[in-house]
Amino acid sequence: MNYWLVIGVSFLYLALLFGLASWAERRSASGKSLVSNPYIYALSMAVYCTAWTYYGSVGRAASGGLEYLAIYIGPTLMAPLWWVVLRKIIRICKVQRITTMADFISSRYGKNITLGSIVTLVCVLGIIPYISIQLKAIASSLSILTGRVGEVEAFPDTSFFIAIGLALFTIVYGTRHVEATERHEGMVTAIAFESVLKLVVFVAAGVFVTYGVFNGFGDLMQQAAQLPNFEELMTFGGESGYAQWFWMVLLSMLAILLLPRQFQVAVVENVNEQHLNRAMWLFPLYLFAINVFVLPIAFGGDLLFGAGTVDADMFVLAIPLLEGQSILALLVYLGGFSAATSMVIVSTIALSVMMSNNLIMPLLVSVPALKNRYNDKLTTILVYSRRLCILLVVLMAYLYYKGVAEYYSLLEVGLVSFAAVAQFAPAIIGGIFWKEGTKNGALAGIVVGSVLWFYTLVVPSMVGVNMLPISILNEGPWGVGWLKPFELFGLQGLDYISHAMFWTMFLNTGLYIGVSLLSRQTSQERNQAEVFVDIFKYSTVLESSIVWKGTAYIPDIRSLLVNFLGEKRAEAALRAYHRKYPEPVNEEGRADAKLVNYAEKLLSGVIGSSSARIMVSSVVKEEEISIEEVLNILKESQQLISINNELRRKSMELRKATEQLRSANDRLKQLDELKDEFLSTVTHELRTPLTSIRALSEILYDNPEMDREDQEHFLHTIVKESERLTRLISQVLDLERFESGKQKLSLAPVQMQEVIQESVEALEQLVQEKGIELVVDVQQNLPEISGDKDRLIQVMVNLISNAIKFCNPAQGKIIVSSYYIDGDIKVNVVDNGRGIEPEFQKQIFDKFYQAENQTIRKPEGSGLGLAICKKIIESHQGRVWVESEPGRGAKFSFVLPVKVKAPAAKV
């Protein structure tokens, strides 16, 4: 394929990434962030799959069979543990504004500069080979694609320009903000996109090999079974195999947590802790998907090319080329290119921040001469040093690639990097779960572990490229046999990675624990240990959980912040602080411990925690604090938190109780009002007959000479009004008995027919007097019901009297009917009176349905009769209602169940 075409496509692809990243940044600036979703987060974590995965897995599978899987089994096993480990690290970093792993370790062990610098150095040393194999992968894929295998390019070769291109991209999107805690949304979006691309293309290539070149999995495996080493490849373990599996799995478990690029995407770029939930299964799924076709491609390559003719690392590219699928080959190349670039970009950003914040800044701020000289330009220096570091890292990787990596496989170099970062595991994992871990312990473990790493893994690789004499490997340095790098202290029988891992991890962990137990923590260390291990307790009150004593002035703190954040951002940060802690500023302008901690935290995000510590302590006067004091204050603040929680809970309970009381009170008040209303209505109703009786009696008394006829008329009215009074009083008492539940029904089998008959007889005379036509129509053999006969008669009399009162005065007609329907006995009383307006049809069953504040009087009646009827019917588990059209009479009905479910003694 044409060389310039491929180069053009590569740079076009980089331009596309540029475009994508800046589009994402613009979206984020306008508040429509792309990265605040768990899928982008999980995809960005797939930066784990580099060119090593893309090309190297196939290479490893071709020579080592299933072994390649160990590197993916480790992370898959680790993913469920993220909830315990990674979430804690994320929280700590968010709260303490930690932006790199070096800063994390330095922070945990008292913001120690030495520790941070050593971690940085080991990271740079460990990761540069890893970056270099990405450059190597790009270069080899390019040469395969363009058919220039074996040609030697003069410097500057193509990979040099690609390295510079990547460095520039990283500089543009990685160092836009000074504050490293600010997320690089453009970069993350680009990385997520690259993860999709490399997966899709790799799977496409796998499908092509399996179904295009061969006839599916079955065919491919059947042919592969003829390969001489097939059985060996498909077998786990082997001679030293199980140990190797164990160490590889452990190594990759640690790598997924500790590689600087993983720390960057998983911790620093994390938007929301909850995204971990999704990533915990999405990420292993991604690993699975990208590994499905590794074996088919590896076997396919073996079958097509024969052993040794083509570098197995490049099978995935070489097969489409062999089959003449140039478009697919170009895409495969781009997939590999994307896998490599994503790793390079993220790793260099992480390393550059580490170098600037843990090497350069501490040097600048702790050497007085340098500090005074550059004090005003620290921010500028910071940004430029980061850019320079990115360039430097990429160039070193390029040199390493040219000098060393060219002679090793992708996997061999990659594992060396894994082993380097594994050296931080004891200090980090111990640091977040074990309060007793000390700075000295961490230092001893990391230093010895790293030195051994260098000796057992890097030194042999230097021998391999003739930088050191081969005798070191065979006879040991200076002929000392037990110092042979591959058989240290006489340990034999392990492959070199397992051997190195055994010794480094054994001594590293042992020293970390041993020295920690023997050494004492400073108060600062102790404070950080408490906060790290118990981060979920402290994260809400961080400003007060860092114990600090001394004298500080707000203007000093302010100018320090302005120096690093700029005027605008410093002001905004201080305003935010005062919003959170709106305590009045004291007169001398003294800053309290909270403000000092807040400022230190802000600075940590920019220049790293140890430099921030130095800067802050340079502008304030600090007092020594003993460990006991630290512990006491922390204990108090913890107690404060739990007391606060307790108080909040109590006040919630109180509020709830108050709410209940209020509603109960409201209900009582309402009942009270109802009672008041009832009383005042009753007295009002009593007044009418009383008024009449009094007036008439007084007239009779004052006028003894009045007509006999008038006298009789008056006396008759007095008697009638007295009866009205009596009736009213007994109804009120009736109703009260029903409402208070004192009214007992004397239940017995009752014939409805009898009830109706007796009621009609009682009213017969009145009906005749008024000339009303009364029709009674009762169904024969009505079933008996259980009821209180006298009460039911009371209801019937009331309904029929109402009908008499309201029926057409000229030609009154009343129909009383009763029949059995649906398990009930139904009774209707129909009149031909003026009817009832719809709005009153419900109200008339309420006692005194007209409210007290009304001044329009209801037609007639005491206002209690129907209310009592309703009570009686309901206490028989029945129902009463009225149907009426104004002007066309009214039909009062009630139903009583034939089988009363339970004796209705009470209402």
The residues that touch another protein, with contacts defined as CB under 8 A, are: 680, 684, 687-696, 698-699, 702-703, 710, 713-714, 717, 720-721, 855-859
- Is the Cβ of residue 292 or residue 690 nearer to another protein in the bound state? 690
Q: Classify 550 as helix, strand or coil.
A: strand
What is the distance between the alpha carbons of residues 331 and 317, in angstroms, rounded to a whole number?
9
> How long is the chain?
907
- Is the Cβ of residue 686 or residue 778 nearer to another protein in the bound state? 686
Q: Rounded to the nearest whole angstrom, what is the least distance from the CB of residue 695 to another protein in the complex? A: 4
Q: Classify 782 as helix, strand or coil.
A: coil
Kindly give, in sequence order, each residue whose CB lies less than 8 Å from that of residue 308, ignoring residues fewer than 6 positions away: none
Kindly give, in sequence order, each residue whose CB lies less than 8 Å from that of residue 141, ignoring residues fewer than 6 positions away: 55, 314, 317, 333, 336, 337
Q: Which of 90, 124, 188 lies closest to 352 in space, CA to CA?
A: 124
| Helices within 807-855 (DSSP H only) | none
Q: Classify 905 as helix, strand or coil.
A: coil
Q: Which long-range contacts (CB under 8 A, 24 or more apart) does 26-32 make?
A: 28/185, 28/186
Q: Rounded to the nearest whole angstrom, what is the least distance from the CB of residue 724 to another protein in the complex? A: 8
- Is the Cβ of residue 684 or residue 899 nearer to another protein in the bound state? 684
- Is the Cβ of residue 568 or residue 857 nearer to another protein in the bound state? 857
Token pair 């390969």 is at which residue? 227
- Is the Cβ of residue 114 or residue 717 nearer to another protein in the bound state? 717
The alpha-carbon radius of gyration of the chain (Å, integer) is 47
Kindly give, in sequence order, each residue whose CB lies less than 8 Å from that of residue 754, ignoring residues fewer than 6 positions away: 789
Residue 544 has phi, psi (to 5 degrees) of -100, 0
Token pair 């491609």 is at which residue? 297
- Is the Cβ of residue 698 or residue 773 nearer to another protein in the bound state? 698
Q: Rounded to the nearest whole angstrom, what is the least distance from the CB of residue 676 to another protein in the complex? A: 11
Q: Rounded to the nearest whole angstrom, what is the least distance from the CB of residue 706 to another protein in the complex? A: 8
Backbone dihedral region for residue 756 (phi beyond 0: left; psi -120 to 50: alpha; all else: beta): alpha
What is the distance between the alpha carbons of residues 360 and 510, in angstroms, rounded to a whole number?
31
Q: Rounded to the nearest whole angstrom, what is the least distance from the CB of residue 705 to another protein in the complex? A: 11
Backbone dihedral region for residue 132 (phi beyond 0: left; psi -120 to 50: alpha; all else: beta): alpha
What is the distance between the alpha carbons of residues 180 and 478, in angstroms, rounded to a whole number?
47
Q: Rounded to the nearest whole angstrom, what is the least distance from the CB of residue 691 to another protein in the complex? A: 4
- Is the Cβ of residue 606 or residue 718 nearer to another protein in the bound state? 718
- Is the Cβ of residue 345 or residue 682 nearer to another protein in the bound state? 682
Kindly give, in sequence order, each residue whose CB lies less than 8 Å from that of residue 40, ignoring residues fewer than 6 positions away: 34, 188, 189, 192
- Is the Cβ of residue 529 or residue 693 nearer to another protein in the bound state? 693
Q: Rounded to the nearest whole angstrom, what is the least distance from the CB of residue 734 to another protein in the complex? A: 23
| 253: its two tokens | 């478990």
Q: Rounded to the nearest whole angstrom, what is the least distance from the CB of residue 859 to another protein in the complex? A: 6
Greatest Cα pair distance in the chain: 157
Q: Rounded to the nearest whole angstrom, what is the least distance from the CB of residue 725 to another protein in the complex? A: 11
Token pair 């050494």 is at which residue? 519
What is the distance between the alpha carbons of residues 377 and 375, in angstroms, rounded to a whole number?
6
Q: Classify 812 as helix, strand or coil.
A: coil
- Is the Cβ of residue 761 or residue 769 nearer to another protein in the bound state? 769
Q: Rounded to the nearest whole angstrom, what is the least distance from the CB of residue 867 to another protein in the complex? A: 19
- Is the Cβ of residue 673 or residue 773 nearer to another protein in the bound state? 673
Q: Rounded to the nearest whole angstrom, what is the least distance from the CB of residue 682 to another protein in the complex? A: 12
Q: Rounded to the nearest whole angstrom, what is the least distance from the CB of residue 713 to another protein in the complex? A: 8
What is the distance between the alpha carbons of residues 526 and 46, in angstroms, rounded to a whole number?
36
For every residue of 310-335, DSSP letters joined together read S-GGGHHHHHHHHTT-HHHHHHHHHH
- Is the Cβ of residue 659 or residue 710 nearer to another protein in the bound state? 710
Q: Rounded to the nearest whole angstrom, what is the least distance from the CB of residue 702 to another protein in the complex? A: 7
- Is the Cβ of residue 834 or residue 879 nearer to another protein in the bound state? 834
Side-chain-side CA neighbours of residue 893 (13 Å): 13
| 331: its two tokens | 């895409």
Which strands make up the sheet holding 550-553, listed edge to edge? Answer: 590-591, 550-553, 621-622
Kindly give, in sequence order, each residue whose CB lies less than 8 Å from that of residue 453, ignoring residues fewer than 6 positions away: 122, 126, 419, 420, 423, 500, 504
Q: Classify 596 as helix, strand or coil.
A: helix
Q: Which long-range contacts (CB under 8 A, 24 or more apart) does 765-768 make?
A: 766/801, 766/804, 767/804, 767/814
- Is the Cβ of residue 194 or residue 721 nearer to another protein in the bound state? 721
- Is the Cβ of residue 698 or residue 777 nearer to another protein in the bound state? 698
Q: Rounded to the nearest whole angstrom, what is the least distance from the CB of residue 580 to another protein in the complex? A: 55
Torsion, Cα 525 527 533 537, to 10 degrees, reads -170
What is the distance between the alpha carbons of residues 837 and 1, in angstroms, rounded to a whole number?
96
For residue 656, count CB atoms less than 10 angstroms from its CB and return exposed for 0-12, middle for 13-18, buried for 19 or more: exposed
- Is the Cβ of residue 474 or residue 703 nearer to another protein in the bound state? 703
Element (H, E) at 749: strand 748-750
What is the distance between the alpha carbons of residues 71 and 48, in angstroms, rounded to a whole number?
10
Q: Rounded to the nearest whole angstrom, what is the least distance from the CB of residue 894 to another protein in the complex? A: 28
- Is the Cβ of residue 723 or residue 773 nearer to another protein in the bound state? 723
Cβ-count burial 540-565 (b if 16+ within 10 Å, e if not): eebbbbbbbeeebebebbbebbbbbb
- Is the Cβ of residue 148 or residue 694 nearer to another protein in the bound state? 694
Q: Rounded to the nearest whole angstrom, what is the least distance from the CB of residue 861 to another protein in the complex? A: 12
Q: Rounded to the nearest whole angstrom, what is the least distance from the CB of residue 840 to another protein in the complex? A: 13
Q: Rounded to the nearest whole angstrom, what is the least distance from the CB of residue 827 to another protein in the complex? A: 30
